[in-house]
Amino acid sequence: MEGLIEFLAMGGYAAFVWPAFAVTAAVMIGLLVVSRRGVRDETRILDALRPGRRRERD
């Protein structure tokens, strides 16, 4: 338990280290989610425009 507290304290720099990692994670995960959503949304529109159409053909 003490080891965990010591780890989280980051030698007194916790207020800087953890937000840095948190911002990095938030941005990278957020971007991934938005990008996946983009593909999903366009696929849905495409399927609505041409139901049952093979997606390989342009």
Partner 1 sequence: MQRWANPNRFMKLTSALLPWCAGLSALLIGAGLFLGLFVAPPDYQQGESVRIMFVHVPSAWMALMIYTIMAAASAVGLIWKHPVADLVAKACAPIGASFTFVALVTGALWGQPMWGTWWVWDARLTSVLILLFLYVGYIALWQAFDDPSRAAKAAAILALVGFVNIPIIKFSVEWWNTLHQPASVAKLDGPSIHVSLLIPLLVMAAGFTAYFVTVLILRVQREILARRVRVLRLSQRTL
Applying CB under 8 A, the residues found at the interface with partner 1 are 7, 10-13, 16-17, 19-21, 23-24, 27-28, 31-32, 35-36, 38-39, 42-43, 45-46, 49-50, 55-58
Measured between alpha carbons, how far is residue 38 from residues 9, 31, 50, 54 in Å?
Answer: 39, 11, 18, 20
CB of 5 to partner 1, least distance (A): 13
Q: What is the CA radius of gyration of the chain?
A: 22
CB of 52 to partner 1, least distance (A): 14
Q: How many CB atoms lie within 10 A of CB 37?
A: 10
CB of 37 to partner 1, least distance (A): 9
